[in-house]
Amino acid sequence: MTAPPDGICAIILAAGEGTRLRPLTERVPKALCPVGNVPLLERALDRVAALGFTGTERVAVNACYLGEQVVRQVGARAHLSVEPGSPLGTAGGVANLRDWIDGRGVLAGNADSYLADPQAAPGPDIAALLADWDGRTVRLLGQPLPDPSEPYGFSGHRFAGFSLLPWRYVRDLPVEPAELVRAVWRPAEAAGDLTVVPYSGTYLDTGTPADYLAANLHAAGDGSLVDPTATVTGAHDRAVIGAGARVRGTVHRSVVWPGGVVAEDERLENVIRVGHDLTVTVGDPLA
């Protein structure tokens, strides 16, 4: 683990409702949905921890929707900001942590971002955001867009999960529902204060069932990921099978959540199975 830069803290944004990921998020907050048998929030915390952002003074997590699950998951490892009522959005969530930020720059990451570095080692891409930062400009991690003229892009790139925010852009954010794209990134772009740091690894926002399944298949690689506590007597190929799952049928390019059940007469393909009664079919996420 490296030492974190002075004057910078990290925030993992984990308060969202994950409406596009329903019905999966009717039971579990989006931040705790497992990818490769690891909750997305744990992946994000591991990534910033690789850069030295650990402990309640250096890293914070916000929570709201099904927030008690996020609070239990994080425990005492990070400062917790629990938003009452409805989620405040990414900008409102940062603003709600203003007193904790206390003049520092903010490395802000979306918990639902799946990032896989080219060498599969956590940290280097975010380190590029921090390298030689002047403390005044906004930086975004970005991937090139197929169409550079895409109006929702930034200098021909799409946002890839993490941004670096100077205090001068954070200090006046109102504690109200708002998103960083409108409250910080676009104003910084208009002022000439936005820099995109290219990212060459794999990025998926996991916001839809199709993207969520694609992230799991990427994590599985050419084989399957099977938790050692799962009971698997059926065939599986490019599958992710969680802790305590019982699989007697066939699972192909699919995810079986922890505790999930696949009966002997079932063949799952391009689906997500939760428990024994919820099956989300998404088609072919690799097509």
- pLDDT of 124 reads 55
> Tens place of pLDDT for every residue, the chain, 287 residues?
566 678 999 999 999 988 899 999 998 999 999 999 999 999 999 999 999 999 999 999 999 999 999 999 999 999 999 999 899 999 999 999 999 999 999 999 999 999 986 654 555 578 889 999 999 999 999 998 887 677 788 988 999 999 999 999 999 999 999 999 999 999 999 999 999 999 888 999 899 999 999 999 999 999 999 999 999 999 999 999 999 999 999 999 999 999 999 999 999 999 999 999 899 998 655 44
Cβ-based neighbour number of residue 132 at 10 Å:
5
- Measured CA distances, 10 to 54, 168, 230, 250 (Å): 9, 16, 35, 42
174, 95 Cβ separation under 8 angstroms: yes
- pLDDT of 119 reads 57
Q: What is the model's pTM? A: 0.92
b/e per residue, 20-52, with b = 16+ CB within 10 A? Answer: bbeebbeebbbbbbbbbbebbbbbbbebbbbbb
Residue 6 token pair: 């002075």
Backbone phi, psi, residue 105, to 5°:
-75, 160
- pLDDT of 201 reads 85
In this structure, are strands 255-256 and 271-274 parallel, antiparallel, or unpaired?
parallel
Q: Which fold is adopted by the domain 8-204? A: Spore Coat Polysaccharide Biosynthesis Protein SpsA; Chain A (3.90.550)
- The two most distant CA atoms of the chain are separated, in Å, by 60
Helix (H, G, I), strand (E, B) or coil at 74: helix
Map out the domains of the chain as residue ranges.
8-204, 221-281
